[in-house]
Amino acid sequence: MQFKLTDTRPEIQRRYQDPHQYPEGVAFQDGQYIPVSEAKISVIDYGFLHSDATYDTVTVWNGAFFRLGLHLDRFFSSMEKLSLSIEFTRDELTEILMNCVALSGLKRAYVEMICTRGCSPSFSRDPRDAINRFLAFAIPLGFIANDEQMKRGLHVAVSDIVRIPPQSVNSSVKNYHWLDLVLGLMQGYEKSGETVLLVDMQGNITEGPGFNVFIVKSGVLSTPRTGVLHGITRQTVFDLCEILDHKVRSREVPRDELMQADEVFITSSAGGIMPVTRVDDCPIANGEVGPITKEVKDLYWERHEFSDWITPVEYFS
Ligand SMILES: *Cc1c(COP(=O)(O)O)cnc(C)c1O
């Protein structure tokens, strides 16, 4: 039944239409492939009401998924840690993601798979009563950093907002507990940062909204060990360092070490290896993109042609 408004003036009618703008793209929901604008979630889904959900994001670059296997491993492991499940096997999930991309026709895509707690028929508070919901979609790929920022390096602020500790929410589960990250980002913008890094209770650096961070000092790379998502791009940096014969450590990284680093970069599937040249409005070293950052970034993109790390999409025409 459609809600009928007696006032037919267009300016009044417009209020009752969906004002949101959607990117092009294809979603999978309840066994069907639909435009992203039509994918919907119930207002009483606990994924929405309680952020009771997990997800993963994988990219498609020039028609091929990058490190899809690692993203699927993490998605299934995240679901297990939250006692969530989907009715699809790993192969079936792969086919769904492939179909979303193939139907969208996108050669460069941002692909997200989501499992929410779902709804329970009686609105029961017991999470075991809920029927878990699965959704996936493919939309055009966007980077955290734009072209100019990639070239000159990002300007990052450090927020004093403490990242949700892993003792509260398991940071190895990719999750939608983002209020600390979002408010940190707002604070970062006020301090003329383009993005933000959050600290932990001890004042060590953790991560930012959807990315991990690395510092380089005297040729050695370091990245925060605890209280962070184990990013697939972070893992890829470890793999690239082995190829390049660079030392890389996962350890506590105090805020001061970030400021005194020779080089800083952030990592995410949405953008890869992104240089940082200013932190809290101070230049990192000479304020230019460093040689190791450049070397790791170049190899990262070269590896997008490496057959072991990619899964080509079969497009329909
Ligand atoms: C997704 C995400 C990252 C980066 O992970 P990748 O697998 O490299 O994309 C880092 N931190 C948080 C909080 C994230 O959600």
Mean pLDDT of 77-92: 98
Whole-number pLDDT of residue 11: 80
For residue 57, the ligand 1 atom closest to its alpha carbon is 9
**CA-only gyration radius of the chain, Å:** 21
Q: For residue 4, what pLDDT band results from cuts at 50, 70 and 90?
A: low
Whole-number pLDDT of residue 3: 58
Mean pLDDT of 26-30: 97
Residue 106 alpha carbon to ligand 1 centre in Å: 22
CATH number belonging to domain 18-140: 3.30.470.10
Note whether 18-140 and 147-304 share their fold: no
CA angle 191, 271, 193 (to 5 degrees): 5
How far is residue 176's CA from residue 153's CA, in Å, rounded to a whole number?
27
Whole-number pLDDT of residue 9: 82
Residue 21 has which token pair?
């703008």
* CA of residue 41 relative to chain centroid, distance: 20
Q: For residue 297, what pLDDT band results from cuts at 50, 70 and 90?
A: very high
For residue 56, the ligand 1 atom closest to its alpha carbon is 1
Mean pLDDT of 100-116: 97
Q: So where are the chain's domains?
A: 18-140, 147-304
Residue 237 alpha carbon to ligand 1 centre in Å: 13
Nearest CA to ligand 1 atom 5: 231
Residue 67: CB within 6 Å of ligand 1?
no
Going 60 to 61 to 64 to 69, the CA torsion angle's sign is negative
pLDDT digits (tens, 9 = 90+) for 137-168: 999 998 889 999 999 999 999 999 999 999 99
**Residue showing tokens 């692909």:** 111
Going 74 to 78 to 81 to 84, the CA torsion angle's sign is negative
Residue 300 has which token pair?
């990262």
Residue 195: CB within 6 Å of ligand 1?
no
Nearest CA to ligand 1 atom 10: 211
How far is residue 88's CA from residue 92's CA, in Å, rounded to a whole number?
6
Whole-number pLDDT of residue 2: 59
Residue 16 alpha carbon to ligand 1 centre in Å: 36
Residue 213: CB within 6 Å of ligand 1?
no
**Residue showing tokens 């600390």:** 180
Fold for the domain defined by 147-304:
D-amino Acid Aminotransferase; Chain A, domain 2 (3.20.10)
Which of the 8 DSSP states describes residue 271? Answer: T
Whole-number pLDDT of residue 212: 98
Q: For residue 20, what pLDDT band results from cuts at 50, 70 and 90?
A: confident
Q: For residue 15, what pLDDT band results from cuts at 50, 70 and 90?
A: confident
Residue 65 has which token pair?
């998924």
Q: Is the pLDDT of residue 17 over 80?
A: no
Residue 201 alpha carbon to ligand 1 centre in Å: 20
Residue 219 alpha carbon to ligand 1 centre in Å: 25
Sheet holding 310-312, edge to edge: 32-35, 26-29, 131-140, 109-119, 53-61, 64-66, 310-312
For residue 175, the ligand 1 atom closest to its alpha carbon is 15
Residue 205 amino acid letter? I
How far is residue 44's CA from residue 122's CA, in Å, rounded to a whole number?
11
Residue 247 alpha carbon to ligand 1 centre in Å: 22
Percentage of residues of the chain with pLDDT beyond 90: 90
pLDDT digits (tens, 9 = 90+) for 216-255: 999 999 999 999 999 999 999 999 999 999 999 999 999 9
Question: In three state form, how does the secondary structure of 107-151 look?
Answer: CCEEEEEEEEEEECCCCCCCHHHCEEEEEEEEEECCCCCCHHHHH
Nearest CA to ligand 1 atom 1: 210
Of the candidates 207, 132, 137, which has an alpha carbon nearest to the alpha carbon of residue 172?
207
Whole-number pLDDT of residue 5: 63
Percentage of residues of the chain with pLDDT beyond 70: 98
How far is residue 209's CA from residue 228's CA, in Å, rounded to a whole number?
11
pLDDT digits (tens, 9 = 90+) for 122-142: 999 899 999 999 999 999 998
For residue 235, the ligand 1 atom closest to its alpha carbon is 8
Mean pLDDT of 66-91: 98
Q: For residue 189, what pLDDT band results from cuts at 50, 70 and 90?
A: very high
Mean pLDDT of 6-14: 78
Residue 16's CB: how many other CB atoms inside 10 A? Answer: 11
Residue 13 alpha carbon to ligand 1 centre in Å: 41
Residue 160 amino acid letter? D
Nearest CA to ligand 1 atom 2: 210
Residue 268 has which token pair?
């995410």
Per the prediction, the chain carries an average pLDDT of 95
Nearest CA to ligand 1 atom 14: 210
